[in-house]
Amino acid sequence: PATQASVALLIIHFSDSFQHPSLVSLPSDRGGAVLSSLVEYYLDSSSSQVVLLLSSIRESHHKPLLEKLNESLNRPGSRLAGLTLLGHLIRNQPPWVHHVSRSALLPSLLRCLKTETDVVVLITGVLVLITLLPMMPQAGKQHIYDFFDVFGRLVSWSHKNPGHVPVEHLVHLHAGVYSLFHRLYGMFPCNFISYLRLHYSMKENLESFQEVVKEERNVFSDLL
């Protein structure tokens, strides 16, 4: 595990590069270990300096970083912090962001959104997906029906309104679901309409359609 002292030294060492992202280059022989230490440090501290540094690394260092982020998403104890870090990084649009859709990180994100029951993790994860979608190259579109399944799952989950979930969290989740709706409709209009017609023609999904999806019906007029 990274110690505060060792990571603090790394931050100091690279601090001059924060204003010049193209200058950040890690040693090839231990770049992976450095990135792993920085990610672990963020998971423990939520350090904004680590976010800046990780956003500034060269594209050639993307593989060990994405592997470490994927590892964090697959550990329940670090999942929320890992998603939060991923969200910060992709919003900074680093040069390596297009590699996310080709890595194991995207399937892990989608799996999380399909199975997770912690509402804060779901809120954070759906915001990451909404931000990431427009940045994906064509290769990432192979997951199009996974994106739709995530939407359907979140609609159903939020409609059931688990009694232990605070109302304010459900409000944020609903906002995320609506944003995902608009993102998917904007990027894949024909495929998404076809999915909605099929998915919400099923009796078990009709109630959630009436309560959640129908509020957005003005987007498609009479298409549904």
How wide is the angle at C-alpha 57 spanned by C-alphas 68 and 27, nearest 5°?
85
- Which is more confidently placed, 30 or 168? 168
Share of the chain above pLDDT 70, in %: 75
Three-state SS sequence of 153-219:
HHHHHHHHCCCCCCHHHHHHHHHHHHHHHHHHHHHCHHHHHHHHHHHCCCHHHHHHHHHCHHHHHHH
pLDDT (0 to 100) of residue 28 = 56
Per-residue pLDDT reduced to its tens digit, 106-119: 999 999 999 999 99
- CA atoms within 13 A of residue 3's CA, in its CB half-sphere: 3
Cα separation, 40 vs 116, whole angstroms: 22
Q: Tell me the chain's radius of gyration from C-alpha atoms.
A: 19
pLDDT (0 to 100) of residue 201 = 79
Cα separation, 6 vs 172, whole angstroms: 37
Query: Which residue, chain included where needed, has tokens 């007029």?
Result: 221
In a 3-state reduction of DSSP, which class is residue 136? coil
Residue 184: CB atoms within 10 Å:
22
Kindly report whether the global pTM for this prediction surpasses the value 0.75.
yes
Nearest to 123 by CA among 170, 162, 86, 157: 170
Read off the pLDDT of each residue in 175-201 and give the average, rounded to a whole number: 90
Say which range, 14-23, 46-55, 75-84, 170-179, has the weakest mean pLDDT: 14-23
Cα separation, 179 vs 23, whole angstroms: 36
Cα separation, 8 vs 6, whole angstroms: 5
pLDDT (0 to 100) of residue 223 = 53
pLDDT (0 to 100) of residue 23 = 40
pLDDT (0 to 100) of residue 20 = 47
Per-residue pLDDT reduced to its tens digit, 141-173: 789 999 999 999 998 888 776 677 888 998 999
pLDDT band for position 4 (cuts 50, 70, 90): low
Read off the pLDDT of each residue in 31-52 and give the average, rounded to a whole number: 86
Res. 199: pLDDT tops 60: yes
pLDDT (0 to 100) of residue 104 = 95
